[in-house]
Amino acid sequence: MIANRLLAVLVVLLFSLSTLTACSYTRQLPSATVQQSLTTSVSNYQYLVGPNDSLSIFVWRNPELSGSFIVRPDGKISTSLVEDVPVSGKTPTQVARDMEQILGKYIRDPVVTVSVTNFVGPYSEQVRVIGEATNPQAISYREYMTVLDLMIAVGGLTEFADGNAAKLVRTSSGGQVTYSLRLDDLIREGIISANVDMLPGDIVIIPEAWF
């Protein structure tokens, strides 16, 4: 009798365990969509507008249409006359020409000037540092930025960093390419030849040293 009861309990436990295992099954998400920057070399860089940028839009002879506008997370802005204007991923000049075309439906011969007063930029235009940096973060790319400029911005390496094992991941038309970096040589030894140019969208990965 006791053996039968123990067997019944064991069956219930095994059934419960199998049910929990089935319920806890997790699926693997697809890889993130890779957004390639339009900048392919340091010589052809143009700033692109992104979410959270602040745009100053001046419409000549129409001050009531002018003003400062924050780019929404969906990459659009709304003005007093038009709504949901896509601006993310465009240069300020392109945004100005688009606004002229849109406003031309309401006013005669609009002349628009657009400037950026708070720079964030789209994710494809930011550079990221992850791993053993003092302050890992994403930073808006600046023209002619180098890895030395980037490391200064993130506070340098931690004491546990293996800087000469660091990698730079860059997205190109052919996919992602990984390059070796010599951050210890650059930062701790002052070997300037180890400095390299950065491009928008670059990711710097700094591993921990194995002592």
Are 135 and 187 in a shared domain? Answer: yes
Check pLDDT > 60 for residue 81. yes
pLDDT band at 15 (very low <50, low <70, confident <90, very high): low
pLDDT band at 137 (very low <50, low <70, confident <90, very high): very high
What pLDDT score does 7 carry?
A: 52
What pLDDT score does 21 carry?
A: 53
Range of the domain at 196: 123-206
What pLDDT score does 34 carry?
A: 72
Are 202 and 156 in a shared domain? Answer: yes
**Domain boundary pick from 92, 118, 144:** 118
171: number of Cβ within 10 Å: 18
Residue 175 falls inside a structural domain? yes
Please give the average per-residue pLDDT across 73-90, as a whole number. Answer: 95
Residue 72 falls inside a structural domain? yes
What pLDDT score does 3 carry?
A: 54
Total domains in the chain come to 2
Question: What 3-state DSSP class applies to 113?
Answer: strand
pLDDT per position as a tens digit, 39-61: 888 889 999 999 999 999 999 99
Residue 183 falls inside a structural domain? yes
Residue 106 falls inside a structural domain? yes
pLDDT band at 20 (very low <50, low <70, confident <90, very high): low
Are 128 and 107 in a shared domain? Answer: no
Residue 20, phi-psi category: left (phi > 0), alpha (psi -120 to 50), beta (remainder): alpha
- Nearest partner of 57 among 99, 88, 89, judged by Cα: 99
What pLDDT score does 41 carry?
A: 86
> How distant, in Å, are the alpha carbons of 93, 94, 140 from that of 118?
16, 18, 11
Q: What is the CATH number of the domain that holds 82?
A: 3.30.1950.10
CA distance 146 to 117: 23
Measured distance between the N- and C-terminal CA atoms of the chain, rounded to whole angstroms: 61
Structure tokens at 108: 């005669």
Check pLDDT > 90 for residue 2. no
Are 57 and 132 in a shared domain? Answer: no
What pLDDT score does 161 carry?
A: 98
Are 152 and 99 in a shared domain? Answer: no
Check pLDDT > 80 for residue 174. no
Average of per-residue pLDDT values in the chain: 90
Check pLDDT > 90 for residue 205. yes
What pLDDT score does 24 carry?
A: 56
Q: What angle do CA 80, 85, 86 make, to 5 degrees?
A: 155
Check pLDDT > 70 for residue 6. no
Residue 69 falls inside a structural domain? yes
Please give the average per-residue pLDDT across 126-149, as a whole number. Answer: 97
Check pLDDT > 60 for residue 178. yes
What pLDDT score does 96 carry?
A: 98
Beta strands in the chain (DSSP E): 54-59, 67-70, 76-77, 85-86, 112-118, 126-131, 137-140, 167-172, 175-180, 203-206
Are 188 and 148 in a shared domain? Answer: yes
What pLDDT score does 5 carry?
A: 59
Residue 79 falls inside a structural domain? yes
